[in-house]
A and B are shown apart, each in its own frame.
Chain A
Amino acid sequence: MDNLKAIVEGIVFVSESPVGLKKLKGLLEDIEGKEIIKALDDLVEEYDKRNGALCLVEVAGGFQFRTKDNFSPWIRKLTSIKPVAISQAAMETLAVVAYKQPVMKAEIEKVRGVDVSGTLKGLLEKNLVRMIGRKDVPGRPIIYGTTKKFLEVFNLKDLSELPTLRELKELGE
């Protein structure tokens, strides 16, 4: 298909959330995955070369058009929206959840040394963290993990893209 690249561009442009390869394959039945990947790669490169405000990025298991970060001052001016803001306390709680998931509230509190009810609730409301289930120990405590939206907001393809946590040197070894 000659215009495959354009079709992919159109689909990604219109979509609300990142478009995964699986979804594109489903929509473009006769096209091989390889070709779609090629089209996506080409698009990423083209947008990169164009030096415009937009770039095609791979986040949260899909592709999405976004503005480049150096345009944020103007974009924030344009809108009456409040930019996403996460407090240091919430960021710490989120970091513990992201790196230690699945994790219980008590474990987060042990690491941070403070009560995390408030920050955890805020993160749940922002849909950055979710309840995954309950741990099969007495009291059946809830376990938490990060959401797909977390990946989307933090510009991550998947969790393995998280910057590595500084090695914890074990004592007494």
Chain B
Amino acid sequence: MGYEIKLDIFQGPLDLLLYLIKKNEIDIYNIPIAVITEQYLEYIDVMKSLNLDVAGEYLVMASTLIHIKSKLLLPVHDDTEDEEDPREELTRQLLEYQAFKEAALNLDTMNLLGRDVFKGGYLLGNETDGEHSLEELSIFELIEAFKVMVSRINPEEIMEIDVERMSLSERMNEIMERLNKEKALTFSDLLGELSNRIKMIYTFLAILELMKLRVIKAYQAKPFGTIRIFLAVED
């Protein structure tokens, strides 16, 4: 099969349909449903084969298209003349979406404050100066930091069978206790003092678990800076 597929990033099923209409130079008021449906489904197949998560919305639209197609196949009787074209609702939706897509592009061409124009004192409020403006961290940056910590452990560590079973909830409680006392801890406060790999892993898992439960938050002032951990809610 010799067709070429250019996979743009679509903003949703309507965006994909508009793209197909434009690509095929189709009159939006007279959409050849059979052709469009076929191409639409091809795109979804490609997305699936690329292991992209095809959102439910795309599938809903696929079924809508197939439904319209099947309706068009039914013979039209004279007495149903008043009935609206099954494509009408879809065309209306596409036109409305197109108008807002354009509006969004227009908005983007305006002089945005903080991008194209700046006001006095802009730096003051936004520059990341030291400890005050901290950025919330994602799990990935934490994992990166963890890798650094682990790499510091002496590689010739003698492995021994861990008799003392570690418990995750115990580590979580310990971290919470320390945080309650000290209010803020750095990532290396918690991990740096440990020389035991297992204990480090447990501590790291405990931090992740506490973040997931939203009881603690991790912040960083600048890339590769110190990671600070706070209680999410102060009591």
Are the C-beta atoms of B123 and A81 separated by less than 8 Å? Answer: yes
Determine the residue in chain A with the shortest Cβ distance to B109: A163
Are the C-beta atoms of A79 and B123 separated by less than 8 Å? Answer: yes
In the complex where A92-B11, A114-B11 touch, is A72 in contact with B117 (Cβ < 8 A)? yes
CA distance A112 to B103 in the complex (A): 12
Category for how many chain B residues contact A: 35 or more
Contact bitstring B83-110, A, C-beta under 8 A = 1, else 0: 0110010011101111111111111101
Are the C-beta atoms of A155 and B14 separated by less than 8 Å? Answer: no
Q: Which one, A65, A67, A113, contacts B14 given CB within 8 A?
A: A113
Residues of A within 8 A of B (CB): 13, 16, 64-69, 72, 75, 78-81, 83-86, 88-89, 91-92, 94-96, 98-99, 110-115, 152-156, 163, 165-166, 168-169, 171-172
In the complex where A153-B113, A155-B111, A168-B95 touch, is A163 in contact with B106 (Cβ < 8 A)? yes
Q: Which one, B12, B14, B99, B128, contacts A165 given CB within 8 A?
A: B99
Q: Which residues of A contact B110 (CB under 8 A)?
A: 154-156
In the complex where A67-B118, A155-B110 touch, is A88 in contact with B104 (Cβ < 8 A)? yes
Q: Does B147 contact A (CB under 8 A)?
A: no
Beyond contacts A79-B123, A113-B61, A166-B103: 5 other A-B pairs, Cβ-Cβ < 8 A, are A81-B122, A84-B115, A91-B105, A99-B100, A154-B110
Q: Does B2 contact A (CB under 8 A)?
A: no
Q: Which residues of A contact B97 (CB under 8 A)?
A: 111-113
CA distance A75 to B115 in the complex (A): 9
Determine the residue in chain B with the shortest Cβ distance to A14: B120
CA distance A16 to B135 in the complex (A): 23
CA distance A152 to B108 in the complex (A): 14
Are the C-beta atoms of A171 and B11 separated by less than 8 Å? Answer: no
Q: Which residues of B contact A89 (CB under 8 A)?
A: 11
Q: Which residues of B contact A86 (CB under 8 A)?
A: 108, 112
Are the C-beta atoms of B88 and A98 separated by less than 8 Å? Answer: no
CA distance A67 to B98 in the complex (A): 33
15 of the cross-chain contacts (CB-CB < 8 Å) are A65-B119, A65-B120, A67-B118, A83-B115, A84-B113, A92-B11, A95-B104, A111-B93, A111-B97, A112-B97, A113-B13, A113-B93, A114-B13, A154-B112, A171-B88
Are the C-beta atoms of B107 and A95 separated by less than 8 Å? Answer: yes
Are the C-beta atoms of A69 and B117 separated by less than 8 Å? Answer: yes
B30 nearest CB across to chain A (Å): 11
Of the candidates B29, B85, B106, the one having the most CB atoms from chain A within 10 angstroms of its own CB is B106
| Contact residues of B between 171 and 230, Cβ < 8 Å to A | none
Q: Which residues of B contact A156 (CB under 8 A)?
A: 110
Are the C-beta atoms of A68 and B95 separated by less than 8 Å? Answer: no
Are the C-beta atoms of B114 and A66 separated by less than 8 Å? Answer: no
Are the C-beta atoms of B117 and A166 separated by less than 8 Å? Answer: no
Are the C-beta atoms of A13 and B120 separated by less than 8 Å? Answer: yes
